[in-house]
Structure 1
C-alpha cells in the first residue's frame, strides 16, 4: 500500500483577519467624527419633517353669468354653461369691465359647435380649453390664471 499524505491546510496570516476589523473600526470612527463635528445628525434623519403650511393664494374668482343657448338643428335641446374666471386682485376690475366681450366670445363659440359633438366623450375638456383660449385673447395672458366650469348641462 501506498502512504497517502495530506497537505496541511494553508495557514492564514493574522493580518488578513485584521483587515475587516480595521475597516469596521475606521468606518465607525469616521461616522462618529462626522457626527461630532455636526456635518450630519442621525436624529434629524429619523425625525419627521414638519409639514409646511399651505400657501395662501391671492386668487380671486369672478363668476361669468350663466349662458343658456338653444342647440341648432331643431332638436329642441339647449345647453346651460356657468363658469368662473380665476385672476388676482390687480386684474379683477379689468375682467369685470370686459365681461360683455367675454360673454360674446363664449356665446359665439358655443353656438358654432356641431350638435353631434355634444354627445362625444371629452367634449367638456375641449370646450374648457377653447373658452380659456378665447378669454385670454380678450383679457391678455397675464390677467387670467384659469377658467373653471361650474355647470355644464343639457336641457
Structure 2
C-alpha cells in the first residue's frame, strides 16, 4: 500500500485569499456607483409606499331609449340607447338636463338621410355628433364620453 501523506506545509497561496476580498470590494464599489448615479435608492426601498391618488368616480347616466321612425316609407324604425359618462360631481346636473339631451339627440337623428344608415362608418359619425350635441347642452366639464349601448333597426 502506498502511504498518502498530507503536507502540512502546503498552505493556500496569497492570491487565493485576495479573490473574496477583491470580489467584495468590486461589489461594494458597484453598489455605491449605482446609488450615486441615482439608479436606485436604499432609502426608497425602506420607505413606506405611497398610495396612488384616488381617481374621481366615473358615473354612467343612461339616456332614455330613442325609438324613431325612419322617414322614407320603408317602415323601419331606429332604436338608440346611450349612456353619458360623467363624474359624481356632475351627475345631478346631467340627470336634471336629460330632457334637453334627449331632445337634441332626437332632433339630430330625425334629420339623417335614410340612405346614410346603409353607409360604412355611420355609427362613428352619429356617436361624434351626439357627443358634440350633449357637450353643447351640458358643457364640456360635465361630459367625459358618450357610450352607445344599443343601435338597431326594427
Aligned residue number for residue 119 of structure 1: 118
Once the two structures are superposed, what CA deviation does each residue of 1:78-100 show, in whole Å capped at 9, x if it has no partner?
00000000001111111111111
1-structure distance, mates of 2:139, 2:55: 25
4+ residue runs over 6 A deviation: none
1-structure distance, mates of 2:76, 2:55: 42
How big is the shift at 1:35? Answer: 2.0
Gaps of 5+ in 1: 1-28, 42-51
TM-score, normalised to structure 2, is 0.69
Once the two structures are superposed, what CA deviation does each residue of 1:28-64 show, in whole Å capped at 9, x if it has no partner?
x6x86242353446xxxxxxxxxx99x7651000000
2-structure distance, mates of 1:81, 1:68: 7
Aligned residue number for residue 100 of structure 1: 99
Q: Tell me: CA distance 1:65–1:109, structure 2 relative to 1, closer, same or farther (3 Å).
A: same
Q: Kindly indicate whether the alpha-carbon contact (under 8 Å) linking 2:90 and 2:142 is maintained by their aligned counterparts in 1.
A: yes
Of 11, 27, 32, 1:36 maps to 32
Aligned residue number for residue 136 of structure 1: 135
Q: Kindly indicate whether the alpha-carbon contact (under 8 Å) linking 2:56 and 2:88 is maintained by their aligned counterparts in 1.
A: no
1-structure distance, mates of 2:55, 2:102: 30
2-structure distance, mates of 1:82, 1:61: 13
How big is the shift at 1:112? Answer: 0.2
2-structure distance, mates of 1:139, 1:36: 57
TM-score, normalised to structure 1, is 0.68
CA RMSD of aligned residues (A): 2.4
